Structure 1
Amino acid sequence: MEVLEEAELCFPQLLNSSCKKPKRPHVQLVVTYVVLSFITVLTTTLNLLVIISISHFKQLHTPTNLLLLSLAVSDFFVGIFTCFQMLLIDGCWYLGDVMCTLYQYLAYIVTSASIGTMVMISVDRYMAICDPLRYQTKVTQRKVQLSVSVCWIFSVVLQTLLLWGNLVHPGRFTSCSGECVVAIDYIAGLADILLSFIGPVAVIVLLYLRVFVVAASQARAMRSHIASVTVRGSVTVMVKKSEMKAARTLGVVVVVFLICLCPYFCVTLTGQDALLNPSSVAFVTCLFYFNSCLNPIIYAFFYPWFRKCLRFIVTLQILQPDSSEANVL
């Protein structure tokens, strides 16, 4: 009986202070481990390919692709942090309070930066579709680089302020050895909800509703005048079609993003995770991390340039001199 009780502890040698392992079906643990391992490998590999593609090929150095690069960087780190999430599958954290706090802190920064990047992608598509004549002058590479830098800096500052107490005193909210917990007060939590979830999601939804309304009206206008356009007008039509295709592609990215993240945020921010069964919590968590490997898959389906870049990378043509000048569009 004593052996059985010790086997249920995270640290059997610490009988009085160790956390107990939650009772979960062995099949569920194995399935969760396999799924998270698959997500980790797929997420890090695919997003690394996106990072290499956009960074290497000069044709891809556009404002919109810089935003995709920022998103790929954040998704890549999400894949890295999934490895740490796998350590919590059996309900125990074995790396100590400092590593727990650092892991949670960096994970929150990356998630916040990812959400901020989604907002900027929505703004970019809004400007391209709703104000196409001034898009190239208003949205430049320098401005996008500055915006991306501000987004990441804001994420670091925000999470530092929210988790300051945890950073100064790691493990202050843990009740037993083997627990990985960070906590913030009510006001900070409310600010986090508004700045990291409700506000960005509202902006994303409103901008994309406006984008698709304008895109639909432009599509109708183009169809009605397609027979009478000049050669110059045909070029304009092609440009508008290209922008709309990009809007649809990134719209899919945004919708998938909301589908994957909303359940996780709704559960964690309302405290309902304690009321759900372990299977539901595992599903919501896997869905949250799975979003980060879906974006490159979406690019592969919708962006021919990504498929060309993959061929260059897989066949090692990327190592040839002047490969950065290759035509991938």
Structure 2
Amino acid sequence: MVLISVDRYVAICDPLHYATKVTPKAVKARAMRSHIAAVSLQRSVSVAVKKSELKAAGTLGVVIELCFPQLNMSCWKTKRPLSYTVVIYIVLSFISLLTVTLNLLVIISISHFKQLHSPTNLLLLSLAVSDFFVGLLMLFQIMLIDGCWFLGNIMCSLYSAFDTIVTSTSIGIMVLISVDRYVAICDPLHYSIKVTPRRVTVCVSLCWICSFFLFCVLMRDHLKQPGRYHSCVGECVMVIKYINEVADFIFVFIVPITVIVVLYMRVFVVAVSQARAMRSHIAAVSWPSSSGVTAKKSEIKAARTLGVVIVVFLLCICPYFCVALTGQDILLNASSSAFLMFLFYLNSCLNPMIYAYFYPWFRKSVILIIKLQILKPGSCETNVL
């Protein structure tokens, strides 16, 4: 910009000598010197920042080292005690393995036994598939605990893409499950007409399509040039525009949680009303004390089940989206960011426990799977209900 202003000054104030003073060769030389000066300044500032970081870390007793020691533009990582690192990796790997195993058990159970081929279980199967992939993604997230990504920019973009698609799909299927339960409890007479396997399949397919569309909108720049927003070698971050982040917050968090809470509260009200009706009916034919106990147990069971669903979803999802929306994610270190992501992923580990584990057929199916009874001819006709 300075060179342009000088060029205009000479052209207007000294036009007779413009052709001799401003030549292509002179312009190239000055532009080259400006570029070299800028690069030198940038490198000196970068070195100064790195030295200041090392000095501050040394003062605090924290050991910092390069992800790639042979590269000057490498990212930094915190070197922790070996025992601490081993414990963290074991715990996170166990969570990942547990997520994959539980969801795989749900997938095998519903797919194999014909008695379980119902619309509701088809939703549980779809949820287990998306959560199964989330469990696999945890293995890549473990790599980011120390803040270093060793698989390159292309793999980083693919990881971010797959992460966006499967987590969004998992949340979407949770909404479908809440709709299914709402219709089943609040409108049981028309349930078989409104909720059919074909409609469930269409809705699940739309969930995956919408998640893919969301990924294309959020990751458009990353697809064009992987790693364009990385500040150093060994970094794996997804930078999106604020307006896109707000839209993501609304459609992936606000809308789903609103639908789930509203529908489940309606289900809770209906369940309590039915429990009270049963109490009135039992009181007319039985001892009051026994009817009161039965009704109370029904109300507590309904409140507990729905409370677990809502609270677990909020605890796992809220921290990630709240931090991202307020812009505080850029202030977090690699370990804190990785913890938020694992909390986000933890919901996929708990989903099969909430939606499947407490079904009696799931326990029977798991026993048959462990004993390899499903390998016998005709085992798909086994009565597990």
Instruction: Supply the distance in 1 between the matched residues of 2:301 and 2:197 (Cα, whole angstroms).
Output: 21
Relative distance call for 1:24 and 1:221 in structure 2 (3 A) is same
> Is 1:10 aligned with 2:42?
no
Instruction: Supply the distance in 2 between the matched residues of 1:316 and 1:246 (Cα, whole angstroms).
Output: 35
Q: Equivalent residue for 1:96?
A: 152
Match of residue 125, structure 1, among 174, 181, 185: 181
> Is 1:148 aligned with 2:208?
no
Question: Aligned-pair distance for 1:266?
Answer: 1.7
In structure 2, the gaps of 5 or more residues are 1-50, 55-62, 286-296
Instruction: Supply the distance in 2 between the matched residues of 1:276 and 1:170 (Cα, whole angstroms).
Output: 23
> Is 1:212 aligned with 2:305?
no
Q: Equivalent residue for 1:200?
A: 256
Question: Aligned-pair distance for 1:294?
Answer: 1.9
Q: Equivalent residue for 2:318?
A: 262
Q: Does the CA contact (< 8 Å) of 2:100 and 2:136 recur in 1?
A: yes
Task: Say what the alpha-carbon RMSD is for the aligned residues.
Answer: 2.7
SS at match of 2:146: coil
Q: Equivalent residue for 2:135?
A: 79
Q: Does the CA contact (< 8 Å) of 1:58 and 1:324 recur in 2?
A: yes
- Read off the aligned partner of 1:85 and give its amino acid letter: Q
* Equivalent residue pairs, number: 313
Question: Aligned-pair distance for 1:157?
Answer: 1.2
Q: What does residue range 1-329 of structure 1 map to in structure 2 within 5 Å?
A: 8-15=65-72, 17-22=73-78, 28-226=84-282, 249=305, 252-275=308-331, 281=337, 283-298=339-354, 301-329=357-385
- Read off the aligned partner of 1:9 and give its amino acid letter: L
Larger displacement relative to structure 2 (52-61 or 265-274): 265-274
Q: Does the CA contact (< 8 Å) of 1:163 and 1:184 recur in 2?
A: yes
Taking structure 2 as the reference length, what is the TM-score of the superposition? 0.75
Instruction: Supply the distance in 2 between the matched residues of 1:127 and 1:160 (Cα, whole angstroms).
Output: 33
Q: Does the CA contact (< 8 Å) of 1:36 and 1:86 recur in 2?
A: yes
- Read off the aligned partner of 1:215 and give its amino acid letter: A
Larger displacement relative to structure 2 (302-311 or 269-278): 269-278
Relative distance call for 1:252 and 1:291 in structure 2 (3 A) is same
Higher relative contact order (CA 8 A, sep 6+): 1
Question: Aligned-pair distance for 1:252?
Answer: 3.1
- Read off the aligned partner of 1:107 and give its amino acid letter: D
SS at match of 1:89: helix
Relative distance call for 1:247 and 1:318 in structure 2 (3 A) is farther
Instruction: Supply the distance in 2 between the matched residues of 1:255 and 1:186 (Cα, whole angstroms).
Output: 28
Q: Does the CA contact (< 8 Å) of 1:35 and 1:286 recur in 2?
A: no
- Read off the aligned partner of 2:153 and give its amino acid letter: D
Instruction: Supply the distance in 1 between the matched residues of 2:304 and 2:187 (Cα, whole angstroms).
Output: 17
Question: Aligned-pair distance for 1:286?
Answer: 3.1
Q: Equivalent residue for 1:236?
A: none
Instruction: Supply the distance in 2 between the matched residues of 1:103 and 1:13 (Cα, whole angstroms).
Output: 25
Question: Aligned-pair distance for 1:67?
Answer: 0.9
Instruction: Supply the distance in 1 between the matched residues of 2:223 and 2:360 (Cα, whole angstroms).
Output: 44
Q: Does the CA contact (< 8 Å) of 1:174 and 1:181 recur in 2?
A: yes
Question: Aligned-pair distance for 1:77?
Answer: 0.5
Q: Does the CA contact (< 8 Å) of 2:64 and 2:76 recur in 1?
A: no
Relative distance call for 1:276 and 1:147 in structure 2 (3 A) is same
Instruction: Supply the distance in 1 between the matched residues of 2:322 and 2:79 (Cα, whole angstroms).
Output: 25
SS at match of 2:233: coil
SS at match of 1:21: strand
In structure 1, the gaps of 5 or more residues are 230-240
Aligned-pair identity (%): 67
Instruction: Supply the distance in 2 between the matched residues of 1:283 and 1:181 (Cα, whole angstroms).
Output: 15
Taking structure 1 as the reference length, what is the TM-score of the superposition? 0.87
Q: Does the CA contact (< 8 Å) of 1:29 and 1:90 recur in 2?
A: no
Q: Does the CA contact (< 8 Å) of 2:126 and 2:204 recur in 1?
A: yes
Question: Aligned-pair distance for 1:22?
Answer: 3.7
Larger Rg: 2
Relative distance call for 1:22 and 1:313 in structure 2 (3 A) is same
Instruction: Supply the distance in 1 between the matched residues of 2:355 and 2:269 (Cα, whole angstroms).
Output: 24
Q: Does the CA contact (< 8 Å) of 2:65 and 2:77 recur in 1?
A: yes
Question: Aligned-pair distance for 1:254?
Answer: 4.3
Q: Deviations over 1:264-297 (max 9, x none)?
A: 2222332323445776555433322222222233
SS at match of 2:240: coil
SS at match of 1:172: coil
Q: Deviations over 1:25-81 (max 9, x none)?
A: 655533321221011111111110100001111111111111111111111001100
- Read off the aligned partner of 1:21 and give its amino acid letter: K
